[in-house]
Structure 1
């Protein structure tokens, strides 16, 4: 029987790479995307993750149509940069909604189906959670909360037959540019996610850190400082 993967934010970048890797491994991929990309190898549901009703309706559709979810990938996230004393309420609240609250909504909606399928849950995180950077108050704070959520999910959901894994990602070439050949590619993250999901149900890889083999040698401030970790 074909396994069902639900992933958020798969229209581009890391999410697209993860979705493509699962599709190539013969999973049925269902993507909750705010902006549709039109890929014919995955089923897209247009969904604003900051709208609880849309999230709920999307998962209700999956349950009605497929009756199960085997893998949930909480990938979608936003970045808002500003000095801490200048961060706007809008940027702060949007970051909390997208990076923290929406994943919680999804977990609550998907837990029953994941439990019945001995499912696997992936938190696609960032090293910004553990290595905060200047002007990153919204991003690093919400990513730290996302990391904490994954640790709690590991404890709470293992007794419901759900394995949980947090991926701590370094510099990823979401939109490849000149001179960034050294960065991780979205396909690298996808291959890792598929491999982890394929492990024996006896095994729960709870935290995996992925860094470029050879980081950038130049000093770059703010978010790009993570390139040197």
Structure 2
């Protein structure tokens, strides 16, 4: 079992154990860095072994990496057992892993639909189910990454939107169950929009510099950075959010409330 004394004693999640799926890049990597900086022991899980190991090495002794296919039920059991043996408990579960496949209802194949659902929705179901089994005796925080696409219509990303809608509905059910059963586990969803990551960069037309569309260049722009979402992950993971459960928190620079 990893001694927790190695973590920062002044951090907002000091002494907590966190598992971040899809943690090698993007929002997951930013969340892993911030949680570790704020005192947590962080286990990064991802299929990208090279990037995941490099990130764990960058963070230092408070981070570790494990290869993990989040759509695989057996691997979820193995990862949670690894957490139990190494750390003794799980306080923070960030279900972040996801993929993006473009296509409207007319263009999306059944194979693509199933692939997106397996990675984006099945993984959250499995993560919550297996994570709760370890968390329910001591309590904790589950943070599931959904999307503004779960709340507003996107004709060009049908399967992605549907998968993120499933994440939001599942999370509400988990929040209610944990409260009724007095597990002291909170479950909330984050709904980002326009986050500049490696995954989203590929969707920009040639010749368009997405950096010019971020809130770095203009605070009224739509796009934000992974670190902006990670800040909300940290808040929901911390005891500061102890009264927040079943919430759908938008991190979208006001995009959802725009009427035109």
- With the length of structure 1 as denominator, give the TM-score of the two structures: 0.87
C-alpha contact (below 8 Å) 2:34/2:230 kept by paired residues: yes
Residue matched to 1:63: 84
| CA distance in 2: counterparts of 1:196 and 1:153, whole angstroms | 15
For structure 1, which runs of at least 5 residues remain unmatched after alignment?
216-225
Residue matched to 2:195: 172
Report how far residue 135 of structure 1 moved.
Answer: 2.4
| CA distance in 2: counterparts of 1:171 and 1:18, whole angstroms | 17
Matched, 1:120 2:141: yes
C-alpha contact (below 8 Å) 1:80/1:136 kept by paired residues: yes
| CA distance in 1: counterparts of 2:234 and 2:194, whole angstroms | 20
Residue matched to 1:82: 103
Q: Report the 3-state secondary structure (helix = DSSP H, G, I; strand = E; otherwise coil) of the residue aligned with 2:174.
A: helix
For structure 2, which runs of at least 5 residues remain unmatched after alignment?
5-14, 202-209, 216-222
Map Cα deviations across residues 19-39 of structure 1 (whole Å, 9 max, x no partner): 111011011110110102111
Q: 1:198 aligns with which of 224, 229, 238?
A: 238
| CA distance in 2: counterparts of 1:145 and 1:165, whole angstroms | 13
Alignment RMSD? 2.0
Q: Which region of structure 1 is more displaced relative to structure 2, 89-98 or 190-199?
A: 190-199
Q: Report the 3-state secondary structure (helix = DSSP H, G, I; strand = E; otherwise coil) of the residue aligned with 2:93.
A: strand
User: What does residue range 145-156 of structure 1 map to in structure 2 within 5 Å?
Assistant: 145-156=166-177
Residue matched to 1:211: 252
Q: Which has the higher contact order (CA 8 A, sep 6+)?
A: 1
| CA distance in 1: counterparts of 2:161 and 2:119, whole angstroms | 13
